[in-house]
Structures are given as structure tokens and as C-alpha cells.
Chain A
Amino acid sequence: MKKIFFYLWILLIMSVCSYNLTIHYIPNIVYTVFHYKIEKNQNIKDNEIKHFDIPTDQSRNVVMPNPDFLYSTIFYDLSEKDLNINANMPDSTYWSVSFYKPNTINWFVKNDQEFETNNLDLTLTFNDSKSQGVIKSPVKKGFMIIRILVEKKDQNSIDYYKSHQKSITIN
């Protein structure tokens, strides 16, 4: 009898640990599934940029996509090299650059009004640096999203913003 209570006690303690670990790692699980889906469905690898169309009801990569945005994304890996991000961004709309850790925490965001120019020229590094235009990532691997707002949905506007989206390059 004593043994049964002992085992139940152990089960309770281990279940509480398992509960806390699951809560803690849910964001990492969400991120890992998202990473896997994008890699598989879009056939892209780390440090490759993917330009997405404006989301529709068919978009199933991530919940609550904003149908007013063109998204460009990169799963970055700074283990071997820094990343240079260059783009000619539009001057007539909201756009932003944001970075996330693999636990989905947003550790950096800067929008068009905070950049001095629309000619984006950033370096993302894991090493210490205080140079202008260099962003130090707290993690070697993470995720970047560049958002471009497309408020008007006429074809000319979409094409115009898409041309800026396509100007985003990584090397």
C-alpha cells in the first residue's frame, strides 16, 4: 500500500514537471512546426528569403495573417556567417523589419519612420558590434519578417509594392 502512494506521489511530481515544461516550450513547438511546414511546403532553407503574396483564406502557414501585408521571411542561421539585408523599400507606406527568437519572442522591430532611409542596408550578426546598421542577434538561429503594408488592393498598387518586396535580398 505504501508503495502505491509512493508511486502516485512520484507520478504527481513528474506530471507537474511535464505540465510546466509543456507550457514553457509551447512557443518553441509552434515555431518548430511552422519552420518545418515552410521548409517543406515552400522548399526554402535557412538564410534564404521567401516572399509571400498577400494572404487569402487559403493561407495556412500562420494563424491570423494580416491581408493588408506583403510578408517576406527568413529563417536565419548566423553560425557560420553574418547576414546582409538589402532592399529598396517604398516611401509611401508602412513597412517594418522584425526579428524573433525560436520561442517566438520579438526581440527587434523597426519601422519605416524609424529608419533614416528607404534603402535598407542592415547586417545581422551574432558577434558583438556597435557599428551603424549592424544588429546583434541574441540567438544564432531565429526568424525575420519584413512587412509591407498594401492598403489599396488595385493591381497597380500590388505590383508596385511587390516590386519593392522583390528588391529585398540576403547575402
Chain B
Amino acid sequence: MKNKVIIPILILLSIIIGGYTAISKINSSTQNNEFSIKNGNWTVNPNMDLKNSYQRAYISRIGVFALDEKEALYFLSSKDNDGDPLTSDFDYQIIGTPPKGRYWSYTLYGEDYFLVKNVANIYTINKENLNIDKPIIVSSSKKDINWLPSGTETKFHITLRVYNPYESVYKNLESLDLPIIKKIEK
């Protein structure tokens, strides 16, 4: 075969192989939270040292236009306390206190990282609308107080945001006491 044919084929093949492998790598890193700091079943966005291309690609995949750790922390969990995936087939109770900061909130996102569809149009429990005397319940069926609807999602994850976290929080991400997500009777 002449070079005229072989070279374009090689270029095309290398673009496909390299591009596909790179996207697969970022997707699998996203699934496994490889570039996040782990604390129990939670992962949290790392220090935004975004000179690391992998980390930048990862952040742009799961939280494009995120802020740095002094401004906001994003804790993600897709598992309950037993290590099982979160699913709307079960109810969950969030037990514990969020890390200290100016504002915090719990939000549910589906596998596609968009807000979970639900008839009540409730997407978040935050510092302001929480009833501190009652537990936070994640459930597909209606609850009167502190309800985070899980809709019909087969899998979802919970994001705990903390804005303007205390220094003692963002400097000790791996050892913080974080809330637990406990499976409860439906």
C-alpha cells in the first residue's frame, strides 16, 4: 500500500484509539472518583490544583464551573453506610451534622448528574429550611418534614455542599466526621 493511503489511515486510527481511550479513562475515573479525596463513603473535590490535566478533565466532567475549596466544598456519596448503592427502592436517613461553614445543603442528583425529577419539585434541604428536630429522610414517597425526594431513580447520589467552610474543615477533609446515610424501613 502506498504511503498516501497508509498515513491518513494511521492518523484516523490514532485519533480514534487515543480519543476513545482518554474518554473511557475519564469516565471510569469519574465512576471510581479517582481524583477525589475519600472520607468514608463520601468523596470531596480536591484542592483545585488544576495544572493536572486529568484532574481538570475530571472536574469538568462532574462539576464544571466549580469553585475552589475555600469558597465551596462538594461532598458526594453514591453509597449508603453499608456500602450499597443509593437507589429509590429504599429510604434513607441522613444522620449527623454537616461540616461547619456559612451555608450547607443536601441535593440529590441522578446518574446523569442532573437534579432528580419529582412531583413535589423539592431538590434540596439546606441550613435554612431544615427542621432541626426531625431527621432528613431520602425517599421516593412523600414525607411531611425534611424530605429529599428520590423520585424513580435506580441510582442516585447525594451532594453535600458547604460554602465558605471553616479553615479547620477544608484543611482536614480526610479526617472530618461526616454525616452517615443509613438505609431505613420504607
Contacts and interface: CB of A to CB of B under 8 A. Distances in A.
B164 to A, nearest CB: 7
Contacts of A59: 114-115
Contacts of A34: 64
> Which one of B22, B107, B127 has the greatest number of beta carbons of chain A within 10 Å?
B22
Interface stretch (B49-57, B87-95, B136-144): B49-57
A123 to B, nearest CB: 22
A60 B113 CA distance: 10
Interface in A1-45: 7, 10-11, 14-24, 26-27, 30-31, 34
Interface in A78-119: 94, 96, 98, 100, 103-106, 109, 111, 113
B50 A151 contact: no
Given A17-B14, A22-B22, A151-B129, A104 B65 contact: yes
A67 B61 contact: no
B124 A68 contact: yes
Chain B at the A interface: SS class: mixed
A88 B76 CA distance: 34
A106 B17 contact: no
Contacts, number: 153
Given A23-B57, A66-B161, A68-B105, A109 B126 contact: no
Contact of B68 (A17, A106, A153): A106
| Contact count band on A | 35 or more
Nearest to A21: B18
A55 B57 contact: no
A130 interface: no
B129 A153 contact: yes
Interface string A63-77: 111111000000000
Interface in B54-73: 54, 56-57, 59-68, 71
Given A63-B63, A109-B67, A22 B19 contact: yes
Given A27-B57, A66-B105, A22 B115 contact: no
A168 to B, nearest CB: 17
B124 to A, nearest CB: 5
A152 B19 CA distance: 44
A55 B22 contact: no
A156 interface: no
Interface of A: 7, 10-11, 14-24, 26-27, 30-31, 34, 55-57, 59-60, 62-68, 94, 96, 98, 100, 103-106, 109, 111, 113, 143, 145, 149, 151-153
Given A62-B64, A68-B105, A98-B67, 17 more contacts: A14-B14, A18-B18, A23-B25, A23-B53, A26-B57, A26-B60, A27-B59, A57-B114, A63-B112, A64-B63, A65-B115, A66-B105, A68-B124, A94-B102, A106-B65, A151-B126, A151-B129
| Top 4 A-B residue pairs of the complex, sorted by shortest distance between their CB atoms | A18-B18, A14-B14, A151-B128, A22-B22
